[in-house]
Amino acid sequence: MRVSRLYVAMSLTVHDIIELDADNAHYLRSVLRLKKAQQVVLFNGKGGEYRGEVTEASRKQVLIKILAYIERSVESNLQVILGLGISRGERMDFAVQKSVELGVSQITPLQTERCVVRLTTDKAQNKIRHWQKIAQHATEQSGRTIRPAIENIAKLEHWLAEQSGLKIFLDPFATQTLQQLQPEAGKVTLLAGPEGGFAEQERELAKQADFVPVQLGPRILRTETAALTALTAVQVLWGDLGA
């Protein structure tokens, strides 16, 4: 029988009894429908995971006793940073979810010239929380013990200046391919555009910041497809999918 996994943002110590926050309590009680004495796996993003047992699952509270620590990691040896032009609704949600499953280390949503989505400050914060929740559930489902960071929305030019490692931007008009490159110190930074692609001045800014334009084949891919294809490719070439 498969044991459910939950991310909890708190310190975990063997033999302690912890109370789940409201969201996790609702999920365990109403979605997973776990009862007293059933087991669950907890992790807090600091490495490894913990086997726990439900000691109470009432409307008032959900309590978990920490039974044992399990040394476990399925993290890739390749650190992948993703700058992702914001796309509409389910496309962005899908890209975030699958990027986590493919081992991304960090995602920064980027506001670019051709982004269809324009967010006010309040809506931007709501979106960040929404994408963080998607990343959390994808981390739980995929068996990862480190939850990738979903950063605040950034302007492209600011984000470009802060990146390091092998820096790649996905460009259907490029001639270079991933096979011709090699990551630096086990780190790759990927830049994927929004639905409308990058404006010409944005492509020039990326090149000036030492991002290498790379094409992923002869066909033009949608934004979410391009990001996921690139993530898969770099994990096969230099990460843990080619193992």
Whole-model pTM? 0.89
In sequence order, what E strands does the chain have? 5-7, 17-19, 39-43, 49-57, 62-70, 79-85, 106-111, 149-150, 154-155, 166-170, 187-192, 212-214
Taking Cα atoms as reference points, which of 203, 180, 181, 204 lies closest to residue 192? Answer: 203
- Please report the pLDDT score of residue 80 as a whole number: 97
pLDDT > 70? residue 130:
yes
Is 51 part of any domain?
Answer: yes
Averaged pLDDT of the chain: 90
Distances (CA, A) of 71 to 49, 75, 137, 232: 7, 13, 21, 26
- Please report the pLDDT score of residue 117 as a whole number: 64
- Please report the pLDDT score of residue 243 as a whole number: 59
- Please report the pLDDT score of residue 196 as a whole number: 77
Do 18 and 97 fall into the same domain?
no
- Please report the pLDDT score of residue 75 as a whole number: 92
Q: Per the structure, how many domains does the chain have?
A: 2
What is the rounded CA–CA span in Å between residue 110 and residue 117? Answer: 11
Do 62 and 84 fall into the same domain?
no
- Please report the pLDDT score of residue 2 as a whole number: 76
Do 53 and 91 fall into the same domain?
no
Q: Cα 83 to chain center, whole Å?
A: 11
Write the pLDDT tens digit of every residue in 51-107.
Answer: 999 999 998 999 999 999 999 889 999 999 999 998 887 889 999 999 999 999 999
What one-letter code names the amino acid at 129?
R
- For 31-46, what is the mean pLDDT? 91
Question: What's the domain range around 206?
Answer: 79-238
Is 243 part of any domain?
Answer: no
* 167 or 242, higher pLDDT: 167
Structure tokens at 227: 């990001």
Do 84 and 103 fall into the same domain?
yes
* 116 or 36, higher pLDDT: 36
Length of the chain: 243
Do 92 and 151 fall into the same domain?
yes
Among the candidates 23, 39, 70, a domain finishes at 70
- Please report the pLDDT score of residue 178 as a whole number: 92
What is the rounded CA–CA span in Å between residue 6 and residue 91? Answer: 25
Do 19 and 97 fall into the same domain?
no
Provide the angle, in degrees to the nearest 10, between the axes of the packed helices 121-142 and 89-101. 40
Q: What secondary structure does DSSP assign to 218-236, as a single string?
A: SSPPPHHHHHHHHHHHHHH
Q: What does R_g of the chain's alpha carbons equal in angstroms?
A: 20
Is 139 part of any domain?
Answer: yes
Do 65 and 108 fall into the same domain?
no
The CATH number assigned to the domain holding 43 equals 2.40.240.20
Do 25 and 143 fall into the same domain?
no
The CATH number assigned to the domain holding 222 equals 3.40.1280.10
Coil/strand/helix, residue 198:
coil
